[in-house]
A and B are shown apart, each in its own frame.
Chain A
Amino acid sequence: MTRIIRAELQRLLRRRTLLVTAATSVAFAAVATLGVWAAARTDGPPADRGGTTVARLAAAGGGTEAFAAGASFIGFFVFVTFIALVATEFSGGTYRALLLRDPHRVRLIAGKLIGALVVAAGALELAETLSFGLSLLLAPSKDIDTSAWFSLAGAGHALGNYATALVGVAGWAICGAALGVAFRAAPLALAVGFAWAGPFENIIARSWTTGYRVFPGQVLAAVIQGGTPEISLARAVTTATAYVGLAAVATAILLTKRDVTS
């Protein structure tokens, strides 16, 4: 497995890929942080889904509050990225070609998935760090004292936010990979993924709020946000684990049973 991960990292850790990944992280950190800080409310509850308050920004977890609030969008981005990555392996024939070097089908996809997740983990870390730095610059504009951010509790929040984001992203990645394996063609897999996790879930969940607790995309987004008013983190993690486990098993069965043809 380690050599497959190493090979995937050889592919992904090239200057151009790293620059694109870093630029995406910078863009995300800037947009999420500026957006969350600009929309932070002085009085009353936070704005719907992803909003926050000045009081929360001033608390120990305030330094990474913007990252946590905006991270749910990263999940969807990772989802479509992994759909494209995996589906292209099939349509481009590289999965078939690599199988001739290592015929363990599930291991090959799992290794590639882990390799790509290592890069995603690095991008997340960069985004959180940048978001924290930008928050430090923005804090005076809201008269916020940032000393609590550097406390042990602040570090715990930062670590917790990173961990939930990473777990959620991994869940999205596995679901994306499952769609990529199922359809083996990026356009079709992306169309289905977009339609489901984009308009379908969100439109239904707005009129049927139980959707926030049962739809896989909503549950994974809740994991990344560390829980939402509709579903606690613990329940979100449990439900997401069931979905991701199901996706992983279905993927393994498809890989094992299906012929590898172009």
Chain B
Amino acid sequence: MTTNQTAVSVHGLTKRYGRRTVVDGLDLELPSGVVAGFIGPNGAGKTTTMAMLLGLVRPSAGDGTVLGDPLDDPAAFLPRVGAMIESPAFYPALTGRQNLRMFATVGRLPEARIAELLDVVRLDERSDDPYRTYSLGMKQRLGIAAAMLGDPALLILDEPANGLDPQGVREMRELIGSLAHRGRTVLVSSHDLSELEQVCDWLVLIEAGRIVYQGRTVDFVGTAADGLAVAPEHPSDLAVLCAVLRSAGHQVHERDGRLVVDDVDDGHALAASVNRAAHAAGIVLVELSPLRSSLEDRYLALVRRGEEGGKS
């Protein structure tokens, strides 16, 4: 990951429709080479922000650069950007291959890449069928192929897994993971946080048109455990184990048929201490595992804090 250059840098980006502010003074810095998840609930302003970055929607205020060129000059940076926004859009009567040829012609892009891209998105066998006969997943994959036509330095994908079945979501995740190489920057929006957590090394969290977090995924989710899950071999030992651990000075509570030990400043030491106490009490443990908050947990906690802050 190269972080000494910025792929996207915008300041005070705002979009108002009448009295309604959809994007509200957004400051966004996206380092080159990251796979960034753009996260927010429906209506948070993700698509509008992406549309402004692509020159489709004009900002009410704010400025910035995309790949070093001014935001208000999309002709300068779009040849180096690939995007799929809102939903894949192609001519229904044309085949997948014909659609890509047409897009390549308009963008003055080499048609030689079409066969390679159809192979990458696993559409080579259906490439000569009309687009209207494609499943939703195939349409999304063709959209990715179209975005990749120019071998872009920046790839912007708006909800690429939207409407896909679990298999399709997994394929899309693998595809996005495979696209992030050779210094390419990827900005992918979704409200499926578990999917993004697995593929993104950078996060941009947006809520009601405002950025609530941007930075490394690992910094947001954290590496330290939030607790330790402990379960005895025999469920009947649960109450005894709870009393033993409390008497050893640990903060313990029961959750879903097991114990959760809080306070994990030193996870290794805590695990060892718990294990020793259980062993001394003659209890065999079948689970002793660190608990980590998911991206979803962290995100929801952040949103809740924001709401509480707003009320107070």
Contact = CB atoms under 8 A, between A and B. Distances in A.
A260 interface: yes
Contacts of A101: 78, 103, 106-107, 109, 149
B51 interface: yes
B106 A102 contact: yes
A167 B81 CA distance: 39
B57 interface: yes
A103 B80 CA distance: 13
Contact of B102 (A10, A16, A100, A103): A10
A102 B55 CA distance: 11
B51 A93 contact: no
A103 B55 contact: yes
A96 B56 CA distance: 7
A103 B78 contact: yes
B56 A98 contact: no
A97 B103 contact: yes
B94 interface: yes
Contacts of A11: 91, 94, 98, 102
Interface residues of B, number: 34
Nearest to A8: B102
Contact of B57 (A6, A94, A103, A260): A260
B19 to A, nearest CB: 17
B103 to A, nearest CB: 6
Interface string B83-94: 101111111111
B178 to A, nearest CB: 21
B101 A262 contact: no
Interface string B11-53: 0000000000000000000000000000000000000000100
B54 interface: yes
A92 B89 CA distance: 6
Contacts of A10: 98, 101-102, 105
A259 B57 contact: yes
A262 B51 CA distance: 11
A3 interface: yes
B165 to A, nearest CB: 23
B146 A97 contact: yes
Contacts of B89: 92-94, 96-97
A96 B86 contact: yes
A99 B146 CA distance: 12
A7 interface: yes
Interface of B: 51, 54-58, 74-75, 78, 81-83, 85-94, 98, 101-103, 105-109, 146-147, 149
Given A6-B105, A261-B56, 10 more contacts: A7-B103, A92-B92, A96-B85, A99-B55, A99-B56, A101-B103, A103-B78, A259-B57, A260-B51, A260-B56
Interface of A: 3-4, 6-7, 10-11, 14, 16, 92-94, 96-104, 108, 259-262
Top 5 nearest A-B pairs by Cβ distance? A93-B89, A101-B107, A7-B105, A97-B89, A260-B56
19 contacts: A3-B105, A6-B105, A10-B105, A92-B89, A92-B91, A93-B87, A93-B89, A94-B90, A94-B91, A96-B56, A97-B103, A99-B56, A101-B103, A101-B109, A103-B55, A103-B78, A104-B75, A259-B51, A262-B86
